[in-house]
């Protein structure tokens, strides 16, 4: 039996869809188990009928509806509501869908400020009014999916690793529960810790971390936080490295920025990180700014114009 | 009675857009417009953030071409801070970008565009997609998926992350390439080059000849072109001088920091996306099909039109054959696909050159960086066109201003024109079929928006 799947992207970048394609040959196996009935990036099923004469967005019924991206305009909202209506299970795929993602950084500004900037860059011709004909109006802010519709399965990641996407699709196709890691990135990080040191300041990532040789294994490199580099590992859900386990940023000797979202779905990466730093004697004033700590999880009211 | 046809959304493209076609009382096309539906506000919300973090934020503009945003941003930040990466740092960045080009073109050709040609423009939508193509050609599908996966895994192996990378860092690259990785990647890139050559030969033999009439008629418009060349006038994807070609083939060149003297962005009421145009032609902006003003195109066909030659031998041979058939500049919109496959050959050859460069495994990959005040313009040729990131920073190296011109947007004016041209051709007297509407979308898909 094949499982019917509908997929849509909302306030999104297509990275999650590419992660589906990046499963490699497993994609061909997945296609034997699932039947896509709607997926705009790959397939020509339309919102307003195949002859373009409909008036309301209409999606086919499906067992599983996968949504990527947050909700930032009226069309995103209409698609999300229609998807909820037509699908038995809704999967929020990617950190934009689960927590707003990078686009929710816009929540520290009013729409007027965003439009004023975009339509007044040095190369833009002067305009008397902003576009609005036949395009969806912006909502007041960028919402995570579960602020607007009920979500059954959360699959964070920016983008989720293809291994994780494969595990999720396999679980959905076989009707088994998807188990996400419930520990932090640090739990999977191979670097070593020496315990509390004399560290009181965080450095910006302007130099490489210390390690002895280019081919030195990661487990011989000291924890990047202990080296004084801000790393969001402690407040970020693990699993980003897929089957290879090692967190993807650490694999490149680069500190984590939190793209897997908070460890618990309702966590707050910004507050949790500031608390973690402060309780370890770090002067949080040494950070250049705070908003970026919520760069992946600014929906759910966490980032707002007054809080910037 | 007049009516509107809404092709919503345009499918098998990378972004969010729709087409509205207005029919007059006779059922002929009165007007057709492409609506760009999305506005996220990157130029605003990067303000106030540490500049060195921006390449890890703006890559989220596009999940299909994150490497290109990442690297254009890296260049802009380096220039704000007045730092030049060591040679190996620059070469590793170019290597990553070139591999990203190679996988992207396979993605577009096989996963997004091929169905129109392999299954046919009029085939049922349920099979007119990559899944239908895979069922019709299982062996080829397996090969395509394997080849693309291999390219993506090279990106992941070296830098940890293939989608939304963090490999480019202020002053250089995150980590050196090890000798055993170099050998492994070199062997894989050679395999990918073989596949690129197989693909273009197959397309020239089995696909393009069948559709030559469509190629010569569908979405054809007459415009200028933009792309980047090296100091020999050869196509370069990573760095160089920007060339702007008028429809008559005459060329002007500029350095990227002067882009604002040459490019303007027009605003239309029906699209969030802005419409770049050639301000330096001093003729304004018009999408009139008979008499366009300021309209140039970017992306593959544009790049091979503005370049005198290809810097690698096999791609050069392909360019010569292409030019002997279609001249310079070639204007037919569907030739973007052919040009894309020529660039695929170039990207593979260039990646091999880089992997044979003795500097590539040098361990000096990152220069010392002091954050500070400055302005920096960074540019690369993204798959979809000349990609410009222009930043300013304050004394503390925090972002004060950004202007970003995304590759796809150069083609918004041309796409509107091609859609109108295609709609005029395929819709007459109120007769509308699924195949006709798909042909209009094919005129958009060629631009790979």
Per-residue pLDDT of chain B (449 residues; tens, 9 = 90+): 579 999 999 999 988 999 999 999 999 999 999 999 999 999 999 999 999 999 999 999 999 999 999 999 999 999 999 999 999 999 999 999 999 999 999 999 999 999 999 999 999 999 999 999 999 999 999 999 999 999 999 999 999 999 999 999 999 999 999 999 999 999 999 999 999 999 999 999 999 999 999 999 999 999 999 999 999 999 999 999 999 999 999 999 999 999 999 999 999 999 999 999 999 999 999 999 999 999 999 999 999 999 999 999 999 999 999 999 999 999 999 999 999 999 999 999 999 999 999 999 999 999 999 999 999 999 999 999 999 999 999 999 999 999 999 999 999 999 999 999 999 999 999 889 999 999 999 999 999 99
Q: What is the pTM of this model?
A: 0.98
Distance between CA atoms of B301 and B113, rounded to whole angstroms? Answer: 16
Does residue B118 sit within a domain? yes
User: Which residues does B183 contact at the CB level (< 8 Å), separation at least 6?
Assistant: none
Q: Is residue B25 domain-shared with residue B148, that is, in the same domain?
A: no
Does residue B406 sit within a domain? no
Asked if B9 lies within 8 A of A206 by C-beta distance, the reply is no
Q: Is pLDDT of A307 > 90?
A: no
Give the pLDDT band of residue A174 (cuts 50, 70, 90): confident
Q: Is residue B91 domain-shared with residue B215, that is, in the same domain?
A: yes
Contacting residues of B for A122, CB less than 8 Å apart: 260, 390, 403
Contacting residues of B for A207, CB less than 8 Å apart: 366, 368-369
Contacts 24+ apart (CB under 8 A), A207-211: A207/B366, A207/B368, A207/B369, A208/A253, A208/B169, A208/B174, A208/B175, A208/B366, A209/A253, A209/A255, A211/A253
The pLDDT value given to residue A107? 98
Q: Which of B33, B131, B268 sits opposite A36 (nearest CB)?
A: B131
Instruction: Please check whether residue A67 is in contact with residue A145, taking contact to mean a CB–CB distance below 8 angstroms.
Output: yes
Residue B227, token pair as written in the block:
């792309």
Please, where in chain A does CATH 3.40.50.700 lie? Answer: 3-174
Nearest Cα neighbor of A249 from B67, B165, B365 is B165
Q: How many DSSP H helices and E strands does chain B contain?
A: 15, 14
Q: Is residue B13 domain-shared with residue B105, that is, in the same domain?
A: no
Distance between CA atoms of B191 and A50, rounded to whole angstroms? Answer: 40
Contacting residues of A for B142, CB less than 8 Å apart: 25, 28
Tens of pLDDT, residues A46-99: 999 999 999 999 999 999 999 999 999 999 999 999 999 999 999 999 999 999
CA A227 to chain centre: 27
The pLDDT value given to residue A214? 92
Distance between CA atoms of B72 and B80, rounded to whole angstroms? Answer: 13
The pLDDT value given to residue B1? 53
The boundaries of the domain holding residue B20 are: 3-36
From chain B residues 372-411, the ones with a CB under 8 A of any chain A CB are 390, 396-398, 403, 405
The DSSP H or E segment spanning A217 is none
Q: What are phi and psi of A64, to 5 degrees?
A: -125, 135
Does residue B290 sit within a domain? no
The pLDDT value given to residue B411? 98
CATH class of the domain at A3-174: alpha beta
To test the contact with chain B by mutation, choose from A14, A30, A106 the residue with the greatest count of B C-beta atoms within 10 A, namely: A14
To test the contact with chain A by mutation, choose from B3, B7, B9, B32 the residue with the greatest count of A C-beta atoms within 10 A, namely: B9
The pLDDT value given to residue A198? 81
From chain A residues 82-101, the ones with a CB under 8 A of any chain B CB are 101
Instruction: Please check whether residue A222 is in contact with residue A194, taking contact to mean a CB–CB distance below 8 angstroms.
Output: yes
Q: Is residue B9 domain-shared with residue B152, that is, in the same domain?
A: no
Handedness of CA B62, B276, B411, B416 (dihedral sign): positive
Does residue B336 sit within a domain? no
Residue A63, token pair as written in the block:
């067992």
Distance between CA atoms of B279 and B282, rounded to whole angstroms? Answer: 6
Asked if B166 lies within 8 A of A133 by C-beta distance, the reply is no
Q: Is residue B30 domain-shared with residue B121, that is, in the same domain?
A: no
The pLDDT value given to residue B2? 73
Distance between CA atoms of A99 and A302, rounded to whole angstroms? Answer: 10
Q: Which of B111, B125, B274 sits opposite A21 (nearest CB)?
A: B111
Whose tokens are 């207005």? That residue is B22
Distance between CA atoms of A101 and A109, rounded to whole angstroms? Answer: 15
Q: Is pLDDT of A197 > 80?
A: no
Cβ of A147: how many Cβ atoms within 10 Å?
15
Q: Is residue B7 domain-shared with residue B152, that is, in the same domain?
A: no
What is the number of structural domains in chain B? Answer: 2
Asked if A207 lies within 8 A of B369 by C-beta distance, the reply is yes
């Amino acid at each position: 039996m094949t499982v019917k799947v509908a997929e849509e992207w909302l306030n999104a970048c297509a990275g999650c869809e590419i992660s589906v394609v990046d499963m490699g040959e497993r994609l061909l196996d997945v296609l034997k188990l699932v039947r896509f009935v709607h997926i705009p990036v790959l397939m020509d099923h339309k919102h307003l009928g195949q002859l373009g004469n409909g008036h309301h967005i209409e999606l086919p019924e499906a067992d599983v509806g996968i949504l990527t991206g947050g909700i930032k305009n009226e069309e995103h909202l209409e698609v999300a509501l229609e998807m909820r209506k037509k699908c038995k299970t809704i999967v929020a795929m990617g950190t934009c869908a689960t927590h707003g993602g990078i686009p929710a950084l816009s929540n520290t500004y009013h729409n007027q400020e965003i439009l004023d900037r975009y339509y007044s860059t040095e190369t833009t011709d002067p305009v008397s009014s902003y576009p609005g004909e036949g395009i969806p109006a912006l909502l007041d802010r960028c919402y995570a999916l579960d602020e607007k519709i009920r979500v059954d399965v959360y699959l964070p990641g920016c983008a989720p690793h293809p291994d994780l996407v494969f595990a999720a699709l396999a679980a959905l196709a076989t009707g088994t529960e998807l188990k996400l890691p419930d520990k932090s990135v640090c739990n999977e990080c191979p670097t070593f810790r020496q315990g509390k040191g004399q560290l009181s300041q965080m450095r910006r990532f302007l130099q490489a971390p210390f390690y002895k040789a280019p081919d030195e294994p990661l487990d011989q490199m000291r924890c990047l936080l202990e080296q004084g580099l801000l790393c969001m590992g402690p407040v970020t859900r693990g699993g980003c490295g897929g089957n290879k386990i090692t967190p993807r940023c650490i694999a490149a000797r680069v500190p984590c920025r939190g793209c897997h979202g908070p460890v618990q779905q309702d966590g707050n990466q910004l507050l949790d990180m500031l608390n973690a730093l402060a309780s370890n004697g770090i002067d949080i004033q040494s950070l250049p700014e705070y908003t970026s700590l919520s760069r992946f999880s600014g929906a759910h009211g966490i980032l707002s114009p007054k809080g910037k | 009675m007049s009516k509107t046809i809404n092709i919503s959304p345009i499918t098998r493209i990378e972004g969010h857009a729709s087409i509205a076609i207005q029919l007059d009382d006779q059922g002929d096309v009165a007007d057709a417009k492409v609506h760009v539906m999305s506005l996220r506000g990157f130029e605003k919300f990067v303000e106030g953030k540490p500049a060195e973090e921006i390449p890890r934020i703006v890559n989220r503009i596009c999940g299909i071409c994150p490497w290109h945003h990442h690297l254009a941003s890296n260049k802009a930040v380096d220039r704000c801070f007045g730092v030049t990466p060591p040679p190996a740092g620059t070469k590793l960045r170019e290597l990553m970008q070139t591999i990203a080009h190679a996988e992207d073109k396979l993605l577009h050709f096989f996963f997004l565009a091929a169905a129109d040609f392999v299954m046919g423009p009029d085939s049922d939508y349920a099979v007119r997609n990559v899944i239908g193509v895979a069922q019709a050609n299982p062996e080829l599908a397996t090969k395509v998926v394997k080849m693309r996966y291999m390219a993506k895994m090279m990106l992941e192996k070296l830098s940890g992350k293939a989608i939304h990378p963090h490999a480019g860092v202020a002053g250089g690259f995150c980590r050196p390439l090890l000798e055993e990785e170099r050998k492994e990647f070199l062997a894989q890139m050679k395999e990918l080059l073989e596949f690129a050559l197989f693909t273009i030969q197959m397309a020239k033999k089995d696909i393009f000849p069948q559709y030559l009439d469509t190629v010569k008629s569908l979405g054809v418009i007459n415009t200028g072109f933009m792309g980047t060349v090296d100091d020999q006038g050869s196509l370069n994807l990573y760095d160089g001088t920007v060339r702007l070609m008028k429809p008559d083939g005459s060329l002007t060149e500029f350095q990227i920091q002067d882009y604002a003297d040459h490019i303007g962005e027009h605003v239309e009421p029906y699209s969030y996306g802005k419409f770049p145009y050639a301000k330096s032609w001093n003729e304004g902006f018009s999408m009139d099909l008979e008499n366009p003003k300021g309209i140039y195109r970017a992306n593959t066909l544009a790049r091979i039109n503005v370049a005198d030659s290809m810097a690698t031998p096999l791609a050069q041979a392909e360019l010569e054959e292409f030019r002997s058939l279609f001249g310079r500049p070639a204007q037919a919109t569907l030739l973007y696909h052919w040009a894309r496959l020529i660039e695929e050959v170039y990207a593979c050859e260039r990646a091999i050159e880089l992997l044979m460069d003795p500097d590539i495994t040098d361990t000096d990959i990152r220069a010392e960086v002091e954050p500070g005040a400055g302005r920096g313009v960074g540019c690369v040729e993204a798959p979809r066109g000349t990609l410009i990131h222009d930043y300013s920073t304050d004394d503390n190296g925090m972002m004060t201003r950004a202007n970003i011109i995304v590759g796809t947007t150069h083609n918004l004016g041309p796409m509107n024109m091609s859609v109108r041209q295609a709609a005029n051709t395929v819709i007459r007297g109120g007769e509308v079929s699924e195949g006709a509407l798909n042909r209009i979308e094919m005129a958009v898909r060629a631009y790979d928006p």
